[in-house]
Amino acid sequence: MSSTHDLSSTPNHGGRPTRPSQEERRTRHGHAGVVIWLTGLPGAGKTTLAHAMERTLFDRGFNVMTLDGDVLRGGLNSDLGFSAEARRESVRRAAEVSALLAATGVAVIVALISPFEQDRRQARERVTAAGAGARFIEVFVDAPPETCEKRDPKGLYARARRGEVKNMTGVTSAYEVPSAPDVHVRTDQRSVDECAAAVLAQVLTA
């Protein structure tokens, strides 16, 4: 079988191909890897904000993607429930995936409730430990519980009140408010575009 790629011409050291350097990746993408971690109550607006930022960064030439909690539950996290232990494992997996992507220069937006402070701290440590100069930006997407419940885009609050959903964050399971987020946006007071601009101002400061 023939190949259009001549392995004999591949630059190497000791006979082995060299991996792209982080400087090469940055030059190719025009930016370093970054993880923008959106945390907040269900209905706070994380996914809406993530998609708005993804569009803006893409239009600016970023290699960007969103890891949304609901999408992850349909695949990578399909075996997990909603207990505290399962939520911790969900955050751990999302952190591992985002760290790997950021290490190759991708801008990763994670939209995940991630209710526990310790788990979010460990996610930051995992991303920054991966090296390659990737940054971790924690964004607290904030809205009062009553506003989130009034929005209730998936009907989860109503179902939780009826006892149909167990371990519902903000109803029967606690949410630990970030003590020192890198960015704090109030989606009940500012538009999606205004919130996105506040986060992107931090992302583009590099």
Which one of 21, 78, 114, 191 is the catalytic residue?
A: 114
Which domains does the chain show, CATH number per domain?
30-203 (3.40.50.300)
Active site residue 114: yes
What percentage of residues in the chain have a pLDDT greater than 90?
57
d(CA 170, CA 185): 18
153 phi and psi angles, rounded to 5 deg: -60, -25
In the 8-state DSSP scheme, what is residue 53? H
Burial of 8 (0-12, 13-18, 19+ CB in 10 A): exposed
Would you state the pLDDT for residue 155?
Answer: 84
The answer on pLDDT for 13 being more than 60 is: no
Region 51-60 average pLDDT = 96
- pTM of the predicted protein model: 0.85
199 phi and psi angles, rounded to 5 deg: -70, -45
Q: What is the pLDDT of residues 88-102, one digit of tens each?
A: 999 999 999 999 999
Residue 143 CB neighbours (<10 A): 21
Question: 60-87 burial, b if ≥16 CB within 10 A, otherwise e?
Answer: eebbbebbbbeebbeeebeebebeeeeb
Would you state the pLDDT for residue 115?
Answer: 94
